[in-house]
């Protein structure tokens, strides 16, 4: 296959390509581990992504967790 053609298809259909890839991974996860474990892993990944985005923006993760869960002590 022509690399330029693949790059053009990816640029035009990036969301669809990612959606199909994530759907495939989710389906494989369900088939191999079951629905509950797959959903738990997906939720952990979403939480990690959210925390990583906040760190990239320069936010303090400790303050974010304190706001989310409240300060103890």
The rounded mean pLDDT for the chain is: 87
Tracing tokens 């936010």 back to the chain, one arrives at 59
CA atoms within 13 A on the CB side of 28: 6
pLDDT of 31? 96
- As a whole number of angstroms, the distance between CA 51 and CA 44 comes to 11
> Do residues 1 and 23 share a domain?
yes
Q: What is the pTM of this model?
A: 0.66
> Do residues 40 and 71 share a domain?
yes
CA atoms within 13 A on the CB side of 6: 3
> Do residues 26 and 51 share a domain?
no
pLDDT of 52? 84
> Do residues 10 and 20 share a domain?
yes
**Count of beta carbons in the 10 Å neighbourhood of residue 72:** 5
- Enclosing H/E stretch for 6: helix 3-12
pLDDT of 34? 96
> Do residues 66 and 38 share a domain?
yes
Stretches in the chain below the pLDDT threshold 70 = 1, 72-73
């Amino acid at each position: 296959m022509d690399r330029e053609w693949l790059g053009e298809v990816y640029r035009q259909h990036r969301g669809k390509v990612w959606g199909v890839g994530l759907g495939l991974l989710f389906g494989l996860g369900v088939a191999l581990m079951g629905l509950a474990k797959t959903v738990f892993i997906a939720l952990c990944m979403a939480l990690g992504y959210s925390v990583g985005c906040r760190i990239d923006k320069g936010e303090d993760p400790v303050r974010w967790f304190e706001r989310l869960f409240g300060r103890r002590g």
